[in-house]
Amino acid sequence: MTKVFLKKQIQNRVLLGHPWIFGNEVGEIKGDVVPGDIVDVHTHQGSFLGRGYINPQSQILVRLLTRDKSEEINPEFFYRRLLKCWEYRQKLGYVENCRLVFGEADDLPALVIDKFNDYFVLQTLALGMEKWKPAIVEALNRIFSPKGIYERNDVPVRELEGMEQQKGFLSAPFDTNVIINENGLKFHVDIVNGQKTGYFLDQQDNRREIRQIVKDANVLEAFCYTGTFSCHAGYYGAKSVLGLDISEHAVETARRNAALNNLQDVCQFQAVNAFDQLKQYTREDRKFDVVILDPPAFTKSRENIRKAVTGYKEINLRGMKLLNQGGFLVTASCTNLVSPELFLETIDAAAKDAKKRLRQVTFQTQAKDHPILRNIENTTYLKFLIVEIA
């Protein structure tokens, strides 16, 4: 097997458990390098560190799959790992809909699998994982006997690995418009055309957190996408709910979700630019009891972090100004590069400019089926905050 030896001065991060090895951390490679193949990684002194897949075209040269020298990477390896992922989710109570595999946090870097009832959507985001896709599909069939498996590999990051974007069935074709249950409601999942894998499971726990604050309230949700927070607000007793999103398709799905839950009289949706509408409502001095802000990621590159922070500050400033005294701001950020500390600093800066005093109700991360490894920063990406305008 090809052996990769690290440089002496930059191996501590990997020694402490991080599975990524960048090209500039490697001192020597002994053996042939075949993109996607399994290699052994050693310290500069020759001690075994781990086993993973290599791709010279990627900035991340090697992604480790195991640190057990006796563990072979074969189809049975992926079966055992997926079974372990499923057992973990079951222990936490995620038995119907969940993120079954969350990449690095489940020791399966660059693999994402979401479970929607008896249907599965997967993403293989690195060449080394793509090569094992048949074994992964076979493992899913062995464990779950699913009604369908679909791949949503229509993501640009694959091109950095020398792969094409693609999507399609990995099982017999099936109806890809699925209805799931969440917190007592039902929602449409568009597996083929929805964002990411078709639905944002990472907020499913957080959506329950609005239960108490929306009762008898007038609620505004900006960047509502398919209206999941809005429908929860209506279900939990809101007086009125207005959801805004720039996508006509998303708004139409939001209306279908409201109707699916008999909330069409409470939940109304408009296809508008949420940024512009927040400004317009501020000029009109409109007021709400609860404002929910759950925007898409504002940046995927470090070069644009400051621009993203400016965007978050702007929408939260507007949201605070639209709230009645004693109202609640529900705000989130899924931008991985914006740390929890930076996000909270941004909210505080917006409050200062808005001349508002905030009382924190809760601050959370993503749902527990998206586990966080304390030694891998990028496994913590979602920030979810509720504050009262005190």
State pLDDT tens for residues 285-329. Answer: 999 999 999 998 877 777 788 888 999 999 999 999 999 999 999
Pick the closest to residue 222 from 188, 252, 247 (CA basis): 247
Pick the closest to residue 107 from 381, 375, 365 (CA basis): 375
Q: How far is CA 324 from CA 232, 287, 320, 336, in A?
A: 21, 6, 9, 31
CATH topology for 75-174? Transcription Regulator spoIIAA (3.30.750)
Q: Residue 11 has what pLDDT?
A: 63
Q: Residue 360 has what pLDDT?
A: 98
CATH 3.30.1300.30 fits 178-389, yes or no: no
Domain coordinates in residue numbering, the chain: 3-66, 75-174, 178-389
Q: Residue 16 has what pLDDT?
A: 87
Name the stretches of the chain with pLDDT < 70.
11
> Quick one: angle between helices 305-321 and 340-354, nearest 10?
40
Q: Which CATH superfamily is domain 3-66 in?
A: PUA domain (2.30.130.10)
Q: Residue 376 has what pLDDT?
A: 86
Q: Is 196 exposed, middle or buried (0-12, 13-18, 19+ CB in 10 A)?
A: middle
Q: Residue 308 has what pLDDT?
A: 84
